Chain A
Amino acid sequence: MTDTRKKLPPHQDILRLLQEQDQRAITLLYEYYSPALYNIILQLVQVEAVAEEALQDAFLKIWEKAEQYDPEKGRLFTWMARICRNTAIDTLRSGQFKKGSKTGALPDSVNNDEILSQEPEETDPGLRKVVSKMDEQSRKIIDLLFFQDYTQSEASEYLGIPLGTVKSRSRKAIQSLRNILKDEGLVSFLLFSLIETLRIHLGY
C-alpha cells in the first residue's frame, strides 16, 4: 500500500506543503500535475480558453479545500482530478458551453475521442506504447468514464451495450491498464513523462 504511494517522489512533500498552506505546494502541484489535470478539463470543456480559466478555478479550489483532503480515502491526484472534473462541469453548466456528449449530441463526443486518442499519441512515446497495447474496447471505456466523465449508464447508452457489460468491461479495462503499466516499467515512464512535462513547461 505504502509502496504504491511512494512511487511519485514529490507526492509526500507536496502534500505536506499543501496542508501547511505553503504556497510552494501550488507551484509544485502545477509543475507535476497541471498537464494531466488540464487535459482532463480540456476533454470536457473542449475550448482551450475555457479550460485555462477552469484550470485556474480548480487550482484555487484545491488550495481552499486542501484541509478536506484525506490521504486515507485516496490518492491526492484522484482528489484533484475530481475537483477538476467538477469545476469543468460547473463551467459548462454556468456558461454557454454545453457538454455535447451529455446533452445528446454524439458528434462532439466523437470529436473528444479523436482529441484524446490522437494528439497525445503522436507526441508522447510512453503513451503511444501503452495505448498500442490496450485493446480498443478497454481504451474507449476508460476514456469515456475517465476523461468524458460519463456515467456507466451513459456509456452503456453511447456504446449501445448493456450496463452489466459496461461494468465488467470497465473493470477489465483498468485491470489491463494496470498490467500494461506494470510491464512497461511504469516508474521510469512516469519519471520520463514528468521530466518531459517539466521541460516543456519550464522551457529548459
Chain B
Amino acid sequence: MDIKTYIASGILEQYVLGKLTPQEEAEVEKYAKQHPEVRQELDAIELALEEYALLHGKPPPPGVLSAILQRLHAEEKLPAKPSGRRLRILGYAAGLLLAGAIAGLLALYQINRQQSAEITALNQQAALALQSCDSIQIAAQRLENLLDFVRQPSTQAVVMEATGLAADAVATVFYNPETQRSLIGVGQLPAPAQDKQYQLWAITESGAVSMGVFELPEKGRPLQEVSFVDGAQAFAVTLENRGGSPVPTLGQMYVMGERG
C-alpha cells in the first residue's frame, strides 16, 4: 500500500482517537514501525490533540489528588513493583534493626542485671572484708593491749606449776597491783568434763579468794582477764563444778605458784 494514501486515509487520526478495532490498531502499529513517516504523522496528530486537550483543561475540584494518593495507600497499590520490593526490603531491614536493637537492649539489660548482682555480691564481700578487718583490728588491738600489759615493769608473771594431778600442767598469772589488773595464760591443762570448770584462786593472808572461773584458751586468745584480788601471795587453779565454788576443793588443785 502507498504510505501517503494510507496516511491520507484518516486511519491514523482514528488510531489516536482510539476508534479502531484491535486488528486495525495492530496494523497501524506495524506500519508505524516499518515507516518513519507513519510514526511521525502519528506523533504530530497525538501532539496536536494533546495540546488541544491541555488548552481545554479544567482544574478538578481540590482534594482529588489527596483522595487518589490515599486510595493508593489504602489499596496497597504503592508497594507493588520494584520500589515496593525495595520498600519491603527496607521494612525487613527496619524490622531486623529493631529486633537487633531490642536483643541488644535485652542483652545489655541482662548484663546490667548480672553486673548489679555482682556489684551487690562484691559490696557484701567488701562489707565482710571490712568487718573481718575490723575484728582483726580489734583482735590486734586487744593483743597489743595485753602485750603492753604483760611488758609493763609493774606486771609480775607468776608461773603456776603442776601439783601432781596432771604432770605437764602449767599456767601463768600476770599480776599488776599498781593497775589492779590480772590475767591468766594457760600453758597446759587437761580438758575438763562438761560439768566441770577451772577456777583461779588468790591465796591471801585471810585465805583463798576466787579470781573467777575460766575456759581453756581459744585460739588467738592466749590470755584471759580475771578478777583482781589485792594482796595475793600465791595463785592456784582447782577444777570445780561448772559455775565455780565459794571455797577451793584442795584435792582438785592442778597448778600452784607463789608470788616471788
Taking Cβ atoms with an 8 Å cutoff, the residues of A that contact B are 1, 4-5, 7, 20-23, 26-27, 30, 33-40, 42, 48, 51-52, 55-56, 59-60, 63-64, 67, 72-75, 77-78, 81-82, 85, 116, 119-120, 124, 126-127, 130, 142, 145-147, 151-152, 167-168, 170-171, 174, 177-178, 181, 186, 189-190, 193-194, 197, 200-201
Contacts and interface: CB of A to CB of B under 8 A. Distances in A.
A171 B13 contact: yes
Interface of B: 8-10, 13-14, 16-19, 29, 32-33, 36, 39-40, 42-61, 64-65, 67-69, 71-72, 75, 77-78, 80-84
A188 B260 CA distance: 137
B43 A75 contact: yes
B57 A36 contact: yes
A43 B33 CA distance: 33
A4 B13 contact: no
Nearest to B65: A30
A184 to B, nearest CB: 10
Nearest to A131: B55
Contacts of B51: 181, 186, 189-190
Given A77-B53, A119-B58, A4 B43 contact: yes
A35 B57 contact: yes
A77 B52 contact: no
Contacts of B72: 23, 26, 60, 63
Interface centre among B32, B51, B59, B84 (most CB of A within 10 A): B51
A22 B83 contact: yes
Q: By CB atoms of chain A within 10 A, which of B8, B47, B65 has the most?
A: B47
A34 B60 contact: yes
Q: B interface, by DSSP: helix, strand, loop or mixed?
A: helix
A200 B59 contact: yes
Given A85-B18, A186-B51, A174 B59 contact: no
Given A21-B83, A120-B58, 11 more contacts: A1-B43, A4-B47, A39-B57, A39-B58, A75-B43, A124-B56, A147-B56, A152-B14, A174-B45, A186-B51, A193-B57
The DSSP consensus for interface residues of chain A is helix
Considering the complex of A and B, which 3 residue pairs feature the smallest CB-CB distances, nearest first? A35-B57, A171-B10, A127-B55
B57 A177 contact: no
Contacts of B64: 30, 34, 38, 52, 55-56
Contacts of A130: 52, 55
Nearest to A178: B48
B60 A75 contact: no
B60 A20 contact: no
A116 B56 contact: yes
A23 B69 contact: yes
Given A26-B72, A36-B57, A52-B64, A181 B18 contact: no
A62 B138 CA distance: 93
A149 B23 CA distance: 20
Residue among B33, B58, B64 with most chain A CB within 10 A: B58
Contact of A38 (B60, B69, B81): B60
A114 B49 CA distance: 19
A126 B72 CA distance: 34
B59 A193 contact: no
A21 B50 contact: no
Contacts of A64: 77, 80
16 contacts: A1-B43, A4-B47, A20-B82, A23-B72, A35-B60, A36-B53, A40-B53, A55-B64, A78-B46, A120-B56, A127-B55, A167-B10, A168-B10, A171-B13, A178-B45, A178-B48
A74 B42 contact: yes
